[in-house]
Structure 1
Amino acid sequence: MSDLGRLVAGRYRLVERVGRGGMGTVWRAEDEVLGRHVAVKKLHVPPHLQDDEIRKLYERTRREARSAARITHPNVIVVHDVVDDEGLPCIVMEYIPSVTLSDVLKRQGALPVGEVARIGRIMAAALRAAHAAGVLHRDVKPANVLLGNDGRIVLTDFGIAVESGTPSLTRTGELLGSIQYLAPERLRTGIAEPGPACDLWSLGATLYQAVEGRHPFQRDTPIETAYAIAAETYEPPRNAGDLAPVIDGLLVKEPARRMAADEAERLLDAATGAGAVTGTCAEAGTAPVERPTGPERVATPATAPTATPVAATAAPARGGGRRGSRTALWCASAAVVAAVTGGVLLWPEDGAASTTPQASPSGPVTHSPDPNPSPPPPLPAGYHLQKAGQGFSVPVPDGWRRKNVPGGEIAYLDPTGRVGLRVDVVEFAGSDPLQHWHDTEEAQTRRDNPGYERVRMGPTTFRGRPAGYWEFTFNGQLREYRAVEIAFSGTDGTQYVVYLSAPNAQWTTYRPVFDTAVKGIRLRG
C-alpha cells in the first residue's frame, strides 16, 4: 500500500485501491486540477519481459487507450487520459461507485433471466459502439462489467488488454485470468488479429455464466478449459429461457457464423420487454420518401409529379427473370405510387426465418433445418391475416394500410408511412436468390444508395427449405434506415419474398413485425 497518497503525473492523488487483477491495479484518485474523483489503472509489468516487449506493451497501451477514448456511449467507460508514472503507463478513467457483475455472481449466484437480458443488452450496445469506432475490447467478462450504485451499467477496461496472440497472453499472465472468456479462434495457432466476433463470443460466455451460475466450459485446469473452448460442446443452459437463442448464437465456435452484436441486442431487448418507439408521427404525410434504390429501389420525393428522373436511375436485373422483365413497369410507376403512399416505397429485402440467425456482420446466416415443420403459430394479439396472393397469406399489424405496387407486389404501411412490410411472389434470375443478390442487386443498391452497409447476407432455411437472407442499412433523405428480406421457395417451386424497412433508430420496435410475418406465413404448398 506504499502508493497510497502518491501524486501521479503531478495531478492525480491516489486515495484508495479499489481493484487488482492480472494486468494492473485500479485506484480511486483525486484529480487535483479539476477537483473530481477518477479511476487510475497502473499496469503491472511481469519481470521476465524483455526491454523490447516492455516498449511494445507501453506503446500498445497508449495507442489503444487513446482509441477507446474516442468511443462516446453512456455504457462505455470514459477514458480521460494516458499518463506516465515513473516510466509506467497509467490509464485515467471516470470513477463509478459500483460493484462488478463478477462480485454479484460470486455473492448471489445465477441472476434472473430478465436482469441478465437487461445487462446483456447494454453490453451488446456498448460493444457495437466500440466496434463502430474501430476498438476491440478483447477482455469481455463479468469482472469488467460495472453495476453502478445509481443503476448505470458500464463496460470497462476498453483498450488496455494486450494483443490477442497466445504467446503474448501467456507472457503477461492474461491467459490464466481470462481464459474462460477467450473465443475459440484466439486459442488456435496461426490466427490473425482478432475481430469483433471475439468480443461477441465473450459476451455469450458472460451471459451463460450470469444466468446459469457457472461457465459453459469450466474444467479443472486452464489447459483443459482452453481445450474445451476450442473443441468441445457445452451443456445447454437450463435456466436461460428466452436467452437461450442468444447464447447459442454467440457461442458458435466459427467466428464467421457467430451472431452479430445488433442481432444479439435486438433479441436481448425483446427478452427484457423493452423497445419503446423513439420516433414521432409529426412528419407523417410530409416527409420525402426514404428507401433503397436500384432495379426496384427508387428514390424520389413524395410529391414527384413524373417518373422521368426515376427511370433514369434504374437498371434491369441480370438473367431474364420476371423481376428483370417488370423493372420498366416498376420504374415508370414508382413516382406516382410514392405520391399516393406518402411514405416508404418498398421492395423485397431479406429477413429472418423461423429460428434465430447466427451470423457475423459479413458472414452467412444459418438456421436449424426443420424436416417436419409444424403449422404456423396462432396470430398474436394486434395482428390479422392478409391475403397477399393466390394461396399466400401473411400476418399484418392492425391499422396498417394496404397498397398495391405495380408488378404484383403488395405493401402494408404503418400509420406514419415510414415503416412498411412488403410481400411478393417472384421469380429471380435463376433459382438462387443469394447469387442474384451478389451478382446484381447489392452492387446496384450500393451504387444508388448513399451510406449503404451490408449487415449480413447468407443462406438460411425456411421451414426446412433453403432460403436467402439479406439485411442492410442505408441513408434516407431524413434518417438512416434498415431493411431485411427473406426469399424462399414453396414445395411447388413458387418463390416468395418478405421484406421490411424501418428507421434504424426504431428497428428494435419494428423488427418483430417482420419476424411475426415470416413465422405466420400461410402457403399454398
Structure 2
Amino acid sequence: MPPSSEETRLVAGRYRLRSVLGSGSMGTVWSAYDEFLHRQVAVKEMKVPPGIPSSQADELRERTLREARAIAVLSHPNVIILHDVARENDQPFVVMELLPSRSLAHILRDHGPLTVEQAAAMGIAVASALEAAHAAGITHRDVKPGNVLVASDGRIKLTDFGIARNVSEATMTRTGIMLGSPAYIAPEVASGGPVTPAADLWGLGATLFAAVEGAPPYDADGDPLETVGKVVNGKVPKPKAGPLADVISALMKKEPDQRITLRDVRHRLYPRQTKTALDLFGPELFRTPDGKKTSAQPDASDTQVIKTVLPEKVEKKAEASSELATDPGPLPFLKPPTAAPQPPAATVYVPPPPPPAPRPGRRSTAATAALIGVAILLFLVAAGGGFALARTVGGEPLLPPAAEPRPTSNGTTELPPPELVRQSGDAGVATGARGGEFGLGVPKGWQKFVAPHDSRFGASTVVQYVSEDGRRAIRLERLANYFGDYPSDQAYIDQLKLLYPSDGFFLLPPEPVANGTTLTFRTTDRGAETSVTRVTFMNLLKAGTSLWVFSVTAPTEQEDATRKDVFEPVAQSLTIAG
C-alpha cells in the first residue's frame, strides 16, 4: 500500500504508522516503526464502536487502556507481546509485537488439516501460553484458530488477550451488539455460566479438533444462531480416530471440572511431536493457493452481522440468570475484517434492527422466532455475562454510575467512602515462593489482577486491585528475603526514585510506622499535550526477612479522600504471613 500523510503519521512521538494491515468498526491495525527503539511493531488504533454515547466515550477509552496496562505484564514465548499503550488526540493505541505469520485459520482454509505432529506442536504452544495467562489471573476467553499465529521460523503464538473487554461490554449494553465465536465458545458460557479458565480448555480442544479435522466442531451451515444452539444442546462431536482424539475428547467435556489440565495436555502431546516446529511448518504453508507469499500481519478475523430482537420471554429469562457471570473475565480484542473469505471462527456482531424474515422451506415462523430468541439470550449471556444482560433488559447502563463528588475546603474532589470487602490472596503464586498469603479489605467492585514481576530485588508477584473507573489502584508485592541482602528499606526507596524522571517525582519525608515506613509521593506523567499527576501512599513493612510493599495510587484531586477512605482503612485491614 503506497504511503500517504495519514499512514505515515507519528503516534505518541515515536510510532511511525506505515501501512494498514486491517480495519473495522472496532479499530485499525497498522504496520508501524518504533523510531525510538528502531524496530517494527504492530499498532492497534482503538476506536469507540458506533452507537456509543459521547458521554461514555472517554470512560471507555480509559478503561481500555487500564486493561491493556494490566495485560502488558504477561510475557511468554508463545504469547504476542504487548509493548506499550499510548494516547494520541484522545484515541488509545496499543503497541504490540509484529510477527511475520499466518493464522491457523488461514492455514486450514488454504491447505487443509494439519498433520498429527503439526497439531501437537500447535497444541503444546497454545497450552503453554494459556498456563502463563491463567497463572497471571488472565482468561483469554476466545481461543480459536484465528487467534493462533504460526511464523515461518517455527514460532507459534497466541494473540488477543483481553484488550476490548470494556468496549464490547458497553457495546452490548447500549446497542445490543453481541461478540463471540460460536463455533468455539464453551457450552457453559453459551448457556449463561461464568467465564473461568476452564472455558479456555474447551477452546483449546475445539481448536485442536479443527486442526486435525479441517473444520470446527460446530458449524450449522455458517448460521451463528444455529451453531450456538448446537453447542448448548447438541452432543459433543467426536474427532476421527487418531493419536490426538483422546486429548481432544478430554478437553471438550461439557462439565468444566471434568476437563484435563493444561499440564496434562502438554504431557500427552509432547510424545507426538518428534520434530521442531521449524521443520514441521514448511514454506509452502505461508503461501496462498495462487502462489503469492503472505505479508507479515497479526491475523484479522472476518465478521458477520446478525439482525435480531429480544423477545419478551427471553428478557424475563435473562433477569432470572442475572447472578451468573458477574465477572466475565477479560474479552479478547476484536479483530478487524479482511478481504479473505470468512473463516468458520467468525466474531459475531448483533445489532438490534427489525426481526428477520423466516426462511422459506426450512422451518415455521414460530420455530424461527423461538430459536432466534433462545440463541440471542445464550449469546448475550456468554459475551457479557448475566450482569450485563440483566442491566440491559432493565434499561440500566453497564458502566457503573459516577459517584457523587464531595466538595472540600481546598477545592479538591472527594468520592464517597467505598464499602470494603474482605479478600485473601497469595503474593507468591506466580513465583512459587512460600509465605505469601495475605488478607485485606478491598473496596467493593474493584477488579483483581495478579502478575509476576522482576526487579533488582528478585522475582516477585504483584497483586493489584483496580477501581471500576480505572483511576485508583491498590498494589501489594512481597520481596522475599529482601532483608537477607539489605539492612533496611532504604535500598528500595533509592530504587523507587530511579523509576521516575527527577522533574516528575516528588517524595515527602518518610514517616515511621509499626514494623516499617510510610511514604507519600507524587508523580507526573507528561504526554505530548497533557500531563497527569498522581499521588501514591505506600507502606514498606518488614515481616521476617521479607519486605512487603503496600500502596494506593490515585489522581491528586482525590488525594484526601483516597488517604482517608482507602489507604488508611485498607492498610489497617492488611494481614500478612511473613
TM-score (structure 1 length as normaliser):
0.48
- Structure whose alpha-carbon radius of gyration is higher: 1
